[in-house]
A and B are shown apart, each in its own frame.
Chain A
Amino acid sequence: METDLGLWAVPIAMLGGAIRVSTPILFVSLGETLTERSGRINLGLEGTLVFGAMSGYALAVMTGSPWLGVIAAAITGALFGLVHGLICSLPKVNDIAIGIAMMLLGMGLAFYFGKPFIQPVAPDLPAIPLGWWSDLPQVRAALQVNVLFLIGLVAAGVLWWMLKATKIGLTLRVVGDSTDAARALGLTPSLVRTLATAAGGAFAGIGGAYLSLYYPGSWNEGISSGQGLMAVALVIFARWNPIACVGAAMLFGAAGALGPALQTIGVSSGYYLFYAAPYVLTLGVLIATSSPTQALSGAPGELSINK
């Protein structure tokens, strides 16, 4: 039974969309934050995301357990990150070029191995109905919160704390901010960066598993539609802060839900234009928050885009 909410349907649908759509973006941007804080950029996370979606789905189909799928996606993601990190540790290798290559490789491999899994149906990841207190079906639908989203929120908090109050976190920041200082402390920057890239890849892999195992909840080749790349851009918007990544991902998710939300109240003209809203939004925030005359605050000093 649907209750007519009028214009209220739009923000409720956008909230639901924000929670549903933001999870993979949140995971990818957390992973990328970790990687970029160590001074490397991994543009290959789009490929990692797609491969994670495929491998997670495949394992869930084969074992019947979505959680084994998530673990498989994390492991393959870490492997992709490890390869990126190891290649970039070689002298005179550009991390951006390798990232693009890894992105294409990841997508290509996922399509190749994923062909047999387009038909079968995998079990979904569980969701928690946090909207039980409401009588409105729309609110209940919006507050069907997936466990991975909650894990993502916790992970953001843990990463934030880790960067502030653990030896690993400080080491990561030292390496990301100044290779010279890191060497003077006796650290091995390339090792730290490789590990950070592998960990970042694992995050992106989990994001991929969410795509295929919960929303949209099936495996096909167009599953990511560039979300991995968007997440990389969002890291800049979030100023390399894990907590801010949550807000950025939610904002992006909400913008993505704008088109369908408007449709529910009958606005259907310019439908495809509204689908572009998240991308326009990303472009808009990046322009609005950057300045040609100011140094980008919070940017790790060793990122190749800053040199």
Chain B
Amino acid sequence: MKTEHENGAIGVETLGMTMRFGGFTALDNASIAIPAGTFHALLGENGAGKSTLVKCMMGFYHATSGQMLVAGREAKIADPKAAHALGLGMVYQHFTLVPSLSAAENLVISREDAPKIIDWRKERADLGAFMERMPFAVPLDRPVRTLSAGEKQKLEILKQLYLGRRFLILDEPTSVLTPDEADEVLGHVRGLCEAGEISVLMISHKFREVTAYADDVSVLRRGRLVGQGRVADLSHQAMADMMMGGQSLAKPAARSGQRGETVLALDGAKARDRSGLKDILIERLEVAKGEIVGIAGISGNGQTELMEMLTGQRPLEAGTMTVESTPYTATRSETRTLGVRVLPEEPLHNACAPKMSVAENIALRSFDANGEGTRFWLKPSAMKALADRLVGEYKVKTASLESPIASLSGGNVQRAVLARELTGRVDLLIVANPCFGLDFTAVAEIRARIMDARNRGAAVLLISEDLDEILELADRVLVMSEGRIAYETPIAGADTATIGHYMAGHQ
């Protein structure tokens, strides 16, 4: 395979690509040209038709009408294999690496002509030679599971190059990366474009990355191509206007109120990490009324474990955890009397019963409450009324209150859980990666809700891998690195470079 496209980057063009699912037009007459060796960005909100377009290009879908030109020649792409044979490759938003295999094993098995019996000595030599030509390296022998998100993303891109692909589609490649990792990965991708090795079509939500790395941009809204141009000629505002089509974003509520007394306090809290080999040790962590404490850090530095400690999923080996000066073990009665609410990461997985209905999931906090006491018989009418009200208030898009919550899109699950968690008394709100994978409107709205809870006097602990989010919302910024709180600064003195430094584990 590798020999077929050794002449470097190829250009790809779509002409009037249209895709209909029944009566619904997901993509309407989209024509996009990506000349060889250029970096093209594809912008659009969730549901704007970006994935439909790239799936048509890769042969996952067969476009209702329209044509595709690959290297100037018309190409019929029947399935992904045909796309691969033409040198087209895609890096998916979710990693498609096999976690328990090493990087080397992942690369070799992804090859269509992988040998029946693998001569590892020869393969290692070939891989070494291949890696030498590449601008970046990843450890080849460790199981992929142990690699950082940045390394995995680099490996995904390396895999495409290893397979001899000359046109790459990147689907939100930086959504799990830190700013530094994102810059590194995209910088290298840009370098490969400039060297004429590949052409790139990148789906993105982030204007900063589009401006910094792309040559051209196309904007989709509701399946239509609503704008195109040289990135150099467009401002962020112009791109946002094209994407949103004049809708306004919810602005984060202004900060108001005073920092009150301490609500959550961790003292020398120690627990094992997921591998069981290292400790998570939080010497001192305080969150007071009316403030948002943001914990930044690269994923895998103990944030997940900290969240599990706070939600009672991971036992403490030493130290104390108190809420309003009472020891706290996150039992249902404690969360209720102390007003603790939690929005964990991946809420469908961590905070919902996926196959139960939207109404039932919204009632999970309150279904057994009867004033101050508890009830034995449920009251479906009250549950339904609550769900009805919250679905309206938080704009949760669902077919009905009886639909299983797993059938909702990610943003709507997030909204539904947030609605549940912010209803009733909220003295302490613990949030992890609340906006992961959501589009602009959902992000802006969820952030506004969190700020609003703070302004109403709640203590908020925000654990996030998105540094921009922390800088936008937090009053104090903490950095977590290797299971410790490595750095703390009030937001007024926060400096991205310093924070990034500590995130990367430098002292």
Residues in chain B within 8 A of chain A (CB atoms): 80-81, 92, 94, 96-101, 105, 108-110, 112, 114-118, 120, 271-272, 274-276, 314-315
In the complex, the chain A residue whose C-beta lies closest to that of B118 is A165
Find A293's partner among B99, B108, B116, B315 (CB 8 Å cutoff).
Answer: B315
Q: Is the CB of A181 within 8 A of B96?
A: yes
Shortest beta-carbon distance from A304 to chain B in Å: 15
- The 7 A-B residue pairs with the shortest CB-CB distance, nearest first, are A294-B276, A184-B96, A170-B109, A181-B96, A181-B98, A177-B98, A177-B100
* Docked complex Cα distance between A166 and B99 (Å): 18
Taking CB atoms, residues of chain A closer than 8 Å to B109 are 167, 170-171, 174, 185
* Docked complex Cα distance between A182 and B106 (Å): 11
Find A180's partner among B80, B96, B108, B114 (CB 8 Å cutoff).
Answer: B96
Taking CB atoms, residues of chain B closer than 8 Å to A293 are 271-272, 274, 276, 314-315
* Docked complex Cα distance between A235 and B94 (Å): 30
* Docked complex Cα distance between A171 and B271 (Å): 37
Mark each residue of chain A from 289 to 307: 1 if its CB lies under 8 Å from any CB of chain B, else 0.
0011111011011000000
Shortest beta-carbon distance from B98 to chain A in Å: 5
Q: Is A173 an interface residue (CB 8 A)?
A: yes
Q: Is the CB of B94 within 8 A of A166?
A: no
Taking CB atoms, residues of chain B closer than 8 Å to A184 are 92, 96
Interface size on A, residues (CB 8 A): 25
Taking CB atoms, residues of chain B closer than 8 Å to A178 are 96, 98-99
Q: Is the CB of B105 within 8 A of A170?
A: yes
Taking CB atoms, residues of chain A closer than 8 Å to B314 are 293
Find A186's partner among B80, B92, B98, B100 (CB 8 Å cutoff).
Answer: B80
Count A/B pairs, Cβ under 8 Å.
67
Known pairs A186-B80, A294-B275, A295-B274; A167 contacts B117 (CB<8 A): yes
* Docked complex Cα distance between A69 and B266 (Å): 66
Find A181's partner among B97, B114, B116, B315 (CB 8 Å cutoff).
Answer: B97
Shortest beta-carbon distance from A159 to chain B in Å: 14
Give residues of chain A (132-172) contacting chain B, Cβ–Cβ below 8 Å.
165-168, 170-171
In the complex, the chain B residue whose C-beta lies closest to that of A183 is B96
Shortest beta-carbon distance from B369 to chain A in Å: 29
Q: Is the CB of B275 within 8 A of A167?
A: no
Shortest beta-carbon distance from B46 to chain A in Å: 20
* Docked complex Cα distance between A298 and B99 (Å): 10
30 CB contacts below 8 A, A to B, read: A165-B118, A165-B120, A166-B116, A166-B118, A167-B109, A167-B115, A167-B116, A168-B116, A170-B108, A170-B114, A170-B118, A171-B109, A173-B101, A173-B105, A174-B98, A174-B101, A174-B109, A177-B98, A177-B99, A178-B96, A182-B98, A184-B92, A185-B109, A292-B315, A293-B271, A293-B272, A293-B274, A295-B274, A301-B99, A301-B100
